Amino acid sequence: MYLIAGLGNPEKKYDGTRHNAGFAAADRLSERLGISLSERKFNAVFGKGSFQGEQVLLLKPLTYMNRSGEAVRAAADYYRIPPEQVIVLYDDINFPCGRLRVRPQGSAGGHNGIKSIIAQLGTENFPRVRIGVGGLSKREDLVSHVLGHFSREDAAVMERAYDAAAEAACCIVTEGCEKAMNRFNGLDAAAEA
């Protein structure tokens, strides 16, 4: 079984913000795989289904970003899912809007949700799909930026990025992280318009 976790903040006011790119990609994956995120447990909403013969647990933590690891670990422990089969979808300010980066492991890179997951799982060895949300302007602080909304133009780019991130997660499940890296690293949804 694979656990695919999209990271974000649960309140309605955070819908459409940069920090909720992982939630948006998880919602896209929910539609694509026909997995309803209607169950509540582990301090998360989740659903179970399958994709090309693989069991998938799709999860959105309700713990707020800084404590995402608590929900991810609780679900992984309950279903006995090893870290190598925990795929995390999340926002990254180090890439332009719509740019994807798939990695099989790595540090948190300053992302509090990933820090929490690393601390809870006790390892950096889990695949992730980083979704570029654009960097800070000189006049912006980090919190305002990640909790801010996209411009209309960037929002259109992000819609394509969420589809691509969902596809990248599916590729990891069926073909492995290396194939997903080859196909999706550097993919730029802004250029796909």
Residue 103 in 3-state DSSP? strand
Whether the Cβ atoms of residue 61 and residue 67 lie closer than 8 Å to each other? yes
* Domains, the chain, ordered by start: 2-184 (3.40.50.1470)
User: What are the tens digits of pLDDT across the range 70-122?
Assistant: 999 999 999 999 999 999 999 999 899 999 999 999 999 989 999 999 999 99
SS3 154: helix
Which residues are 59's β-sheet partners? 5, 46
Task: In the chain, count H helices and then E strands.
Answer: 6, 7
pLDDT along the chain (193 residues), means of 10: 96 92 97 95 96 95 95 98 98 93 94 96 97 82 82 92 96 95 86 63
Angstrom distances, CA of residue 27 to CA of 98, 142, 192: 16, 25, 21
Full-prediction pTM beyond 0.85?
Answer: yes
19 is catalytic: yes
> Residue 2 has which token pair?
């694979």
**Active-site annotation holder among 19, 111, 145, 149:** 19
Angle at the Cα of 115 from the Cα atoms of 113 and 119, rounded to 5 degrees: 120
